[in-house]
Structure 1
Amino acid sequence: MAPNERLRSALLSAGISVRQLAEAVGVDPKTAERWVNTGRTPHPGIAHRAATVLQEDLANLWPAIEQGRRRHQGSGELIAAYPTRASAPLDMWRTLFERAEQHIGVLVYAANFLHESWPNLKEVLTSKAREGCRVRILLGDADSPVIRGRGAEERFGHGIESRCRVALMHYRPLAESSNVELRVHDTTLYNSLFLGDNHMIVNAHVFGMNAYGAPVYHLRRMREEGLFDTYATSFEAVWEQARLPGKEA
């Protein structure tokens, strides 16, 4: 089998060694070496994790895995897709934020899973802000009828309101840092969005289902007015009508 030159190039571009990639995705270094040197194709789940670590298009690294899976062939903006948020690797969010240099954006109702799974998230965002990265956080207004309505739809009751208040407690101290902006909103969210420069994670919302059970898509901006720009435009629209915590609507 021929060497996988695309994978070799992606490793060089990312500044990641074969051993480091193997450790990041949880395989033996010799296995990862075979991906490069002999062109062997990994298991799809492992391949998704490797593509996320390298911030590369899975179809570019291993075309056979993605063949026939995309509805919009050639767009190149879909890096990976996961059937549920619970099945998506946390490293995808880590990489998104840690590699961002210009802009980080979060549009959610609460998304406390990030703080619960990643205790030093606040330190990472604060550090990014100090380095000049603009950080914008949009959280659901716990007192909004929209939030109460979502709780009823998901049969979560007042739980979602509580989680919105907890999220505000997590993020409020960050707003004291330069380059960090925090606002609350009362819009109906069709997707939770996590932005890091030209990469984005979209957690789709499904009626009657908590977000952890809904699909997740990892996008990379490749062209104007593509998938990435569609979601980025919605982020900006919510940002414009959101307000500072504690301010009346």
Structure 2
Amino acid sequence: MANERLRDALMHAGHSTATAADQVGVDAKTVERWLTQDRVPYPRHRGALAALVDRSESYLWPDAVPAQRQKKAATSEIVETFPHRSDVPLHLWDDLLQRSSERIDVLVHAGQFLHERAGFISTVKAKAESGVDVRIAFGAPESTATELRSTEEKLGPGVLGARIRYGLASYRPLLHTAGVEFRFHETTLYNSIFRFDDEMIVNMHVFGVPGPHAPAMHLRKLAAGDVFDTYERSFVDVWELSKPAEW
């Protein structure tokens, strides 16, 4: 049986069997066997491949990582939990942003608290200009999902959509910055996601509770874990369903 997860991950990472073999330190025929015969690599090779394609070992080889190790890795990926998003220390947001060197992903409805931070927009712009890929997905202001969330959080009709429109003005300096892309989503937002390379803040949403008052957790990606990957895939799924944002 072919390992389609590994094949897909290599393709999306831009690797052929030859380049993957070179990076991992094996023969190209060995990589081909991993793909076509579903052979399981040795642990050291699994770790190198997982890092190469930015996927967890447990995702690429579900039966190869012992359940106890998966459980331990999942627990270890959770750096800290907070009873409310507003309890996340300001210095943590700043540190995560400053340390980003490859990717910044943001999935929110409005995310006002971000652009209200002094220097947030200018820092994102500088990061993008230095080669960091930035993707920000807002709730579509006039969508049914946004209006429903506005009602559920007891904000009132049209309030959340207005907040989104208001916040967009702050992002105008980034509109023509290479490496920065904005989209509107119309999904039910179960979590707001803030990814900075291999670390992430996830703000869980609770019915009737505004985002700042709902719990949040700080995650750090591990090769054998899949909690980080779960939220990463969720972001990508929403992103692919989203449309380019129109100001």
Tell me the TM-score normalised to structure 2 length: 0.68
Give the structure 1 partner of residue 79 of structure 2: 79
How has the CA–CA distance of structure 1 residues 209 and 127 changed in structure 2, closer, same or farther, with 3 Å as cutoff?
same
- Deviation sequence 1:145-176 (CA, Å, 0-9, x none): 11000011111113211111122222243121
Give the structure 2 partner of residue 145 of structure 1: 144
Larger RCO of the pair (alpha carbons < 8 Å, separation 6+): 2
Aligned-pair distance for 1:119? 1.9
Letter in 2 for 1:159: V
Aligned-pair distance for 1:74? 4.7
**More moved, 222-231 vs 212-221:** 222-231
User: What is the root-mean-square deviation in Å for CA atoms of aligned residues?
Assistant: 1.5
How has the CA–CA distance of structure 1 residues 74 and 233 changed in structure 2, closer, same or farther, with 3 Å as cutoff?
closer
Distance 2:182 2:224 in 1: 27
State the 4+ residue runs in structure 1 displaced beyond 4 angstroms.
none
Do the aligned residues in 2 keep the contact of 1:171 with 1:182 (CA within 8 Å)? no
How has the CA–CA distance of structure 1 residues 225 and 73 changed in structure 2, closer, same or farther, with 3 Å as cutoff?
closer
Give the structure 2 partner of residue 237 of structure 1: 237
Distance 1:208 1:95 in 2: 31
Do the aligned residues in 2 keep the contact of 1:129 with 1:135 (CA within 8 Å)? yes
Do the aligned residues in 2 keep the contact of 1:172 with 1:182 (CA within 8 Å)? no
Aligned-pair distance for 1:73? 4.3
How has the CA–CA distance of structure 1 residues 141 and 224 changed in structure 2, closer, same or farther, with 3 Å as cutoff?
farther
Aligned-pair identity in percent equals: 40
Aligned-pair distance for 1:97? 1.2
Give the structure 1 partner of residue 67 of structure 2: none
Give the structure 1 partner of residue 177 of structure 2: 177
Tell me the TM-score normalised to structure 1 length: 0.67
- Deviation sequence 1:82-102 (CA, Å, 0-9, x none): 000111111221111110100
Distance 1:245 1:74 in 2: 37
Give the structure 2 partner of residue 131 of structure 1: 130
Letter in 1 for 2:146: I
Q: Report 1:93-112 matches (<5 A).
A: 93-112=93-112
Give the structure 2 partner of residue 89 of structure 1: 89
Distance 1:177 1:228 in 2: 28
Distance 1:246 1:125 in 2: 20
Distance 1:219 1:172 in 2: 30
Unaligned segments of structure 1, at least 5 residues:
1-71
Give the structure 1 partner of residue 187 of structure 2: 187
Q: Report 1:187-206 matches (<5 A).
A: 187-206=187-206
